[in-house]
Structure 1
Amino acid sequence: MNPPSFADAQFDIVLRRQRTRPREGGGIKLTAIPSRFLNLSNQFEFAGWGTVSTIFLTREEQLKGEETLQKGQRGKVLGQFTASALAGNDVLGSVFYTLPAIVAVSGVYSPISLFIAAVMLFLWRPIMEELGSALPISGAPYTYLLNVTSKSLALVGAAILLLDFSSTAIVSAATAASYLAGEVTLPFPAFVVAILVLIVFTAVSLSGMKESARVAFAVLSLHVVTMLVLWTASAISWGRHGSQLLKDNWAAGQAGSSASIVHQIFNGICIGMLGLTGFECTPAYIASVKLGRYPLVLRNLHLCAIFLSSVTMVFLLANVPLDMIKGDANVLRDLAEKVAGKWLRVWTVIDAIVVLCGGVLTGILSACELIERLAHDRVLPKSFLKTMPVTGSPYVAVLAFVAFSGALYASAGASLSIVSKMFSLVWLSTMTLFPLAVLLLKFNRGRLPRQPKTGLTVVFVTLAICAAVFAGNVAIDPTTLGYFAAYLVAIIILFYATQNKGRFVRLMYWAYDQNVILHTWSWTRDWAERLTEVMMRMRRQPVCVLCKTDEINHLFQMVLYVRQNEETSNLKLVHFYDDDEGIPSEMEANWKILDEAFPEMTVDLIFVKAPFNPTTVAALAHRLDIPRSLMFMSCPGSDFPHSVADFGTRIISL
């Protein structure tokens, strides 16, 4: 008989070590590798053995799961018009700060540039509809990236989003203040008005999502009526005075060559894209939109965006001299006075202030959805999830975001110009996240059910447009890149620090551990003990992986994802089963191998005797006291009978 091979011997060793493991747990995973900490034993570095157990969900826990799902369904309170209004105030209100900026670079070709910029959204709509169909979860596109790629890239997307929402609120508030300052003499600087606007709409947002949407709808209705009155008065004035002024403006603004014309139109498109801000906010609150309404919301916003800015720009050129248009930041005020007199001018200014304040509300509510998601994912503290008892509004998230926006505005020297420059690149970066997310979705989560499906040609064309327009904005004003990079890097560092809290605590303890002098002082020893307790507490926070198969390679990849993306040493592998299917034959044996392969992590195996559906997963989350956002699963296929949104879990593998 031949002696055993090396592979057979290694296998026998693994089996022997697993047989000697206490089934009920206990003991530590022995290793020859010493701890990096001189004053801590190897027991600190390595977790204990995992355990195997079976759970039978009680009736009470099942009812808790059903209650969780019903609460999610009750949260879908926005119809197509109220949902459109939340983002619509920003999309349609942008006309007040976009037109002066675009005339400065595109001149008489501004209507062409605005129309082309708005039409290009036809590329984004199917992309956003596909993402919304696959993952109808609030906090997008951060949540899109979180489910199709690594958490690190998702946090970069979250940083861009937070900067976008903050810029939306600041630019809207500051522009409203500038309109008011242009009409009346203020006893204080205009930035004080901007701060007051932020404070007032903080109070409005604390009234809850549904009430805020009603306020937004009322504001948008006023704006639509105002624009219709302004268009009617402009058309009547144009008909009365003829097209001579339009011809004079066209002649005065003509470029010297075809190349100059193309260049001006391209620059106008780059700036004109800023007039579409607010469109990117709709996925942030998609979980609050009634089923089937999301594509209608995108359609409503897009149709309004196509006609509003370009038609208004034509009326401007037909009724107001080009020099006056270029010389005043509040051009719609001038148009209103030219075509109807002071009464329409006052009405337009009031409308500008009100609708721009609605843009502040859009930024706050969208940011709150993102902040709540980050808190559920343990990027931000749980305190951000605290809500008001009556309205259910996340008051900590609201107040924190407004404080962040105020700090951002103050760091820019309360300058609307600086924030606006940064805003253009932030918005383009946000819109780039959508084609990037759908590309990763197709490659990494291709089996995920969704409708419609966008062709790769559309995705790559959209990415190319994003790159070209981004470069065009930088070429127009290179300082925009500096502002954008400075703020973005600062937020990414903040998110990285909050996501990797345990690493920073370990680094602090390591610095203490290496300095012998610090060990002689009692107060530093007490401080070190507290750091040790913090490290242990952070490591004990559990996460859960829902496993369908016992394939070792699949299980290994899922455990590796947790190790790379979450700070925990407490992982629970969960398999749902019933009498018909039973438990996969190699599940327990492969779990033992994984528990041995990751000594820094306790890997528990839990069998749940229940069908796998959203109710039982929510019930298990209640039983284990683990947020559903920290329960991970593989990508479902086309025959999967449930919606991913109902589970509330994260997809981490194909």
Structure 2
Amino acid sequence: MAKKLNQLEATAICGNDISSSCLYVSALAIVYAGQYAWISLLMVAVVLFFFRKIYGEVVGALPLNGGAYNALLNTTKKSTASLAAALTVLSYMATAVISTSEAVKYAHSIWIVIPVIPVTIGLLLLFMGLVILGIGESSKVAIAIFLFHLLSLIILCGFSLVFLFENGTEILFSNFNTPVKGGIITALFLGFSAAMLGISGFESSANYVEEQEKGVFPKTLRNMWVVVTVFNPLIAFLALCIIPISTVVDNQDALLSIMGKTASGNWLSLLIGIDAALVLSGAVLTSFVGVGGLMKRMALDRILPKVLLKKTKKGSNYLIFVLFFGLCVSILLITQGDLAKLAGVYTIAFLSVMILFGIGNLLLKVNRSRLPRPERSSWLGLFIGVIAVAAAIVGNVILNPQYLAIFMEYLIPTLAVVFFMLYRTSIFKVFLKILDYAFPEKNSLFIKLKKPIKKALNSINKQQFVYFTNHDDVSILNKVLSYISNNESTRSVKIVTVLDEGETIATNLTKDIETLDRAYPLINVEFIIEPGVFGPEKIKELSKRWHIPINFMFIASPGHKFPYKIQELGEVRLII
């Protein structure tokens, strides 16, 4: 059994991404909100506080890898969940390429002989190798980077405070007397919108929750929230105390290095430069780990090709990481290191994922109200969180209208791949009809083209699905078959009731299933009475006996009296 991540390891992996935000988000907030930037950053911290509860409720109820995709897969249609998956993969690609490139650029500023693009590719290759070796090994690197980063920030803030006490508040008062373009409300809104970039990475922990020890996930949310709430507003405020706003605007790409040089000289500026290169590299690791958990789940659910599930001896899905590395390198080479375009993808994609996670929480409350969960978000907090993130998307589009068009350029081909996998049986059937029309004489070319398509269709449709029940009435069972018919490609569904000694099946259950078998002529509905006790062991036994993966088995939402937690059942999906 693979080693699970403890609190420090799990926090370090996602924490490097979100904590690296101070390298750019404090300056961004000052550019748009001026002297009120620290307030904008505190507003972001409030929104993130609400999302702590939102993520805590969803992942607590459904503690499986996949983040927003998993939340929506178990509460709504598979196509909606696929949209969330595509957006998350886009977000990770943009994060990995931007973070790697910026890390190398910081290193290049320290040692100018470093060639940016070749070293960027080399760094991506290094982290691909680390995650293929295993998440446990990569977490050790993440911890070292995370702790060094926190120490560097504490040193920077400490020397900035010393500089403030020694040199007085003249710069601070001068900055606070600077006129704000558009008024305070506009400045706060635009500053808030730009500053929402500072919580990228918060969604990552949910994508590898299965690799974390019990009870660790909510602690990672708390720890990330504390880091963002303390350091981002504090650094923005200290920057306003020791550096004129005009200087911040001119040096926004390296604000913390300028702060270090101002507060204590070149040594501190060099320390911050080294820290920036390291922690941005750590954010790349976050992307690899997060996308690994997500794409594995997508492949298991037949949204990505099954071949991606091949494993190394240590259990790592190496082809997922090789594919992700290839996609990142292709984007880097296409843009030739000019990554301004990716900022639009990065911004809109990850903010959209957060909105979809909020929608997943809403659907969980409505459609899965019986499902036990360790904590609940309030309705008010849910609406505030979702509306605030939607406002941030609007604000970013106002700030950079071209971002939306660039985002669509990347989103459309990504969705094309995902939705081809999702609807490939319908596409194959249409193609067969076109062949029938184009080749009325059914010649040898027609046979050659038709044979592989028919073979692919049969291979997809032969996958069986299972629904466990012991008392559901015909209306519930109809919903189950309707969902499977609309969301999965199959010709066979087993409806299984597990009976212990002395138990009997529900009245009319057999007749109801016979009725449904006639109502769904394209699906063979088989009713099976299985002796034993329903639980994790029985599910594993049936999965092995019937060669049906556990993620193709469904149950209704269990209530509080159900003796098992949902994660104990493996990757069983909730359907009603």
Q: Shared fold by TM > 0.5?
A: yes
Q: Which moved more, 1:367-376 or 1:204-213?
A: 204-213
Q: Which moved more, 1:357-366 or 1:96-105?
A: 96-105
2:50 to 123, 129, 147: 123
Query: What is the alpha-carbon distance in structure 2 between the residues aligned to residue 474 and residue 122 of structure 1?
Result: 24
Indicate yes or no: 2:504 matched with 1:603.
no
Counterpart in 2 of 1:196?
Answer: 122
Deviations 1:568-602 (A, max 9, x none): 11211111112221233423322222222211112
Secondary structure of 1:169's match? helix
Secondary structure of 2:496's match? strand
- Of all paired residues, the percent bearing the same amino acid is 28
Indicate yes or no: 2:467 matched with 1:545.
yes
Indicate yes or no: 2:110 matched with 1:183.
yes
Secondary structure of 1:543's match? strand
Aligned positions of 1:232-243 closer than 5 A = 232-243=158-169
Match of 1:628, as an amino acid?
Answer: I
Indicate yes or no: 2:180 matched with 1:255.
yes
Counterpart in 2 of 1:111?
Answer: 38
Query: What is the alpha-carbon distance in structure 1 between the residues aligned to residue 398 and residue 453 of structure 2?
Result: 49
Aligned positions of 1:5-404 closer than 5 A = 71=1, 77-186=4-113, 188=115, 190-251=116-177, 253-255=178-180, 260-328=183-251, 329-389=253-313, 391-404=314-327
Distance apart, 1:550 and its partner CA: 5.0
Report the CA distance shift for 1:90/1:574 in structure 2 as closer, same or farther (over 3 A). same
Match of 2:549, as an amino acid?
Answer: P
> Does the 8 A contact of 1:550 with 1:586 survive in 2?
no
Match of 1:636, as an amino acid?
Answer: P
Report the CA distance shift for 1:192/1:250 in structure 2 as closer, same or farther (over 3 A). farther
Secondary structure of 1:544's match? strand
Deviations 1:235-275 (A, max 9, x none): 22222211122222333x3326xx61221111111111111
Counterpart in 2 of 1:24?
Answer: none
Secondary structure of 1:584's match? coil
Aligned positions of 1:476-555 closer than 5 A = 476-516=399-439, 519-520=442-443, 522-555=444-477
Aligned residues: 575
Distance apart, 1:513 and its partner CA: 0.9
Q: Which moved more, 1:524-533 or 1:507-516?
A: 524-533
Larger Rg: 1
Deviations 1:24-52 (A, max 9, x none): xxxxxxxxxxxxxxxxxxxxxxxxxxxxx
Distance apart, 1:146 and its partner CA: 0.4
Distance apart, 1:524 and its partner CA: 3.1
Distance apart, 1:491 and its partner CA: 1.5
Query: What is the alpha-carbon distance in structure 2 between the residues aligned to residue 585 and residue 560 of structure 1?
Result: 22
1:435 to 352, 358, 382: 358
Q: Which moved more, 1:524-533 or 1:407-416?
A: 407-416
Match of 2:101, as an amino acid?
Answer: A
Counterpart in 2 of 1:55?
Answer: none
> Does the 8 A contact of 1:226 with 1:351 survive in 2?
yes
Report the CA distance shift for 1:122/1:648 in structure 2 as closer, same or farther (over 3 A). same
Query: What is the alpha-carbon distance in structure 2 between the residues aligned to residue 264 and residue 560 of structure 1?
Result: 50
Query: What is the alpha-carbon distance in structure 2 between the residues aligned to residue 530 and residue 451 of structure 1?
Result: 49
**CA-based RMSD:** 1.8
Query: What is the alpha-carbon distance in structure 2 between the residues aligned to residue 531 and residue 651 of structure 1?
Result: 29
Deviations 1:154-181 (A, max 9, x none): 1011111111111221221121122123
Deviations 1:497-523 (A, max 9, x none): 012222222222211111136723x23
Deviations 1:74-118 (A, max 9, x none): 55x112221111111011111112233222212222222112212
Deviations 1:377-416 (A, max 9, x none): 1111221111211x32210111111222233344445322
Q: Which runs of 5+ in 1 are unaligned?
A: 1-70
Q: Which moved more, 1:309-318 or 1:128-137?
A: 309-318
Query: What is the alpha-carbon distance in structure 2 between the residues aligned to residue 619 and residue 583 of structure 1?
Result: 21
1:459 to 353, 357, 382: 382
Query: What is the alpha-carbon distance in structure 2 between the residues aligned to residue 118 and residue 502 of structure 1?
Result: 45
> Does the 8 A contact of 1:445 with 1:653 survive in 2?
no
Query: What is the alpha-carbon distance in structure 1 between the residues aligned to residue 430 and residue 234 of structure 2?
Result: 59
Query: What is the alpha-carbon distance in structure 1 between the residues aligned to residue 439 and residue 216 of structure 2?
Result: 64
Query: What is the alpha-carbon distance in structure 2 between the residues aligned to residue 498 and residue 434 of structure 1?
Result: 23
Match of 1:92, as an amino acid?
Answer: S
Deviations 1:328-357 (A, max 9, x none): 211111111122222222211111001100
Secondary structure of 1:139's match? coil
Match of 1:197, as an amino acid?
Answer: L
State the TM-score, normalizing by the size of structure 1: 0.85
1:580 to 499, 502, 508: 502
- Point out 4+ residue stretches in structure 1 off by more than 6 angstroms: none
Query: What is the alpha-carbon distance in structure 1 between the residues aligned to residue 38 and residue 380 of structure 2?
Result: 28
Query: What is the alpha-carbon distance in structure 2 between the residues aligned to residue 344 and residue 641 of structure 1?
Result: 56
Q: Which moved more, 1:224-233 or 1:369-378?
A: 224-233
> Does the 8 A contact of 2:67 with 2:203 survive in 1?
no
Counterpart in 2 of 1:31?
Answer: none
Distance apart, 1:441 and its partner CA: 0.6
Q: Which runs of 5+ in 2 are unaligned?
A: none
Query: What is the alpha-carbon distance in structure 1 between the residues aligned to residue 245 and residue 119 of structure 2?
Result: 30
Match of 2:291, as an amino acid?
Answer: A
Secondary structure of 1:291's match? coil
Match of 1:96, as an amino acid?
Answer: L
Aligned positions of 1:619-638 closer than 5 A = 619-638=541-560
Match of 1:103, as an amino acid?
Answer: I
Report the CA distance shift for 1:507/1:282 in structure 2 as closer, same or farther (over 3 A). same
Report the CA distance shift for 1:100/1:417 in structure 2 as closer, same or farther (over 3 A). farther
Query: What is the alpha-carbon distance in structure 2 between the residues aligned to residue 211 and residue 225 of structure 1?
Result: 22
Match of 2:503, as an amino acid?
Answer: E
Secondary structure of 1:279's match? coil
Query: What is the alpha-carbon distance in structure 1 between the residues aligned to residue 267 and residue 398 of structure 2?
Result: 41
Query: What is the alpha-carbon distance in structure 1 between the residues aligned to residue 334 and residue 371 of structure 2?
Result: 43
Secondary structure of 2:183's match? helix
> Does the 8 A contact of 1:246 with 1:318 survive in 2?
yes
Query: What is the alpha-carbon distance in structure 2 between the residues aligned to residue 354 and residue 300 of structure 1?
Result: 20
> Does the 8 A contact of 1:147 with 1:650 survive in 2?
no
> Does the 8 A contact of 1:136 with 1:645 survive in 2?
yes
